Amino acid sequence: MLALMGTATSASAAPADKPQVLSSWTQTSASSSNAFHNARGNQGQWADYGFDWSTDKCSSSPDNPLGFPFENACIRHDFGYRNYKAAGQFPANKDRLDSAFYEDLKRVCSQYSGASKTSCNALAWTYYQAVKNLGLKESELVG
């Protein structure tokens, strides 16, 4: 009976490298973003980690403002916020999560040129400022 209980406990515990995996998926680089989205598409492979994959995408803001596809950036940002809050490490990581969000948005905008790129970059800055400033208030409530 004790052997079965020990097995159940270790099976329900998250792998020891969970903090490293979480960190690797929430960096500012394109490779970090790509790794996250690949993992999100194969969530079953990460079931033992107990990540929170839930998202409300861009919350009350449009997911694709003026046709610019910001949705995936919002999804990764939600993932970082929710999982660092669950780990009790949100305040120490918030600035990086917000910066990664902004870099994701700028990568979207880099696909455009001229007035479209200018409009996209302005929206990206607005979205970044919103999470930077409104997210701070949320972190003060949580932290």
pLDDT in tens, 12-57: 588 999 999 999 999 999 999 999 999 999 999 999 999 999 999 9
Residue 13 burial class via C-beta count within 10 angstroms: exposed 0-12, middle 13-18, buried 19 and up? exposed
User: So where are the chain's domains?
Assistant: 21-142
Write the CA distances from 41 to 37, 44, 88, integer angstroms.
Answer: 6, 9, 26
- Evaluate whether the domain defined by 21-142 bears CATH number 1.20.90.10: yes
- pTM here is 0.87
Chain centroid, CA 55 distance in Å: 9
Residue 34 main-chain phi, psi, to 5 deg: -60, -40
Chain centroid, CA 75 distance in Å: 6
Strand ranges inside the chain, DSSP E? none
Per-residue pLDDT band at 137 (split at 50, 70, 90): low
At which residue do the structure tokens 């270790």 appear? Answer: 10
Q: Return the active site residues.
A: 77
- How many Å apart are CA 111 and CA 56, to the nearest integer? 25
Interacting residues of 121 by C-beta distance below 8 A, sequence separation 6+ = 106, 109
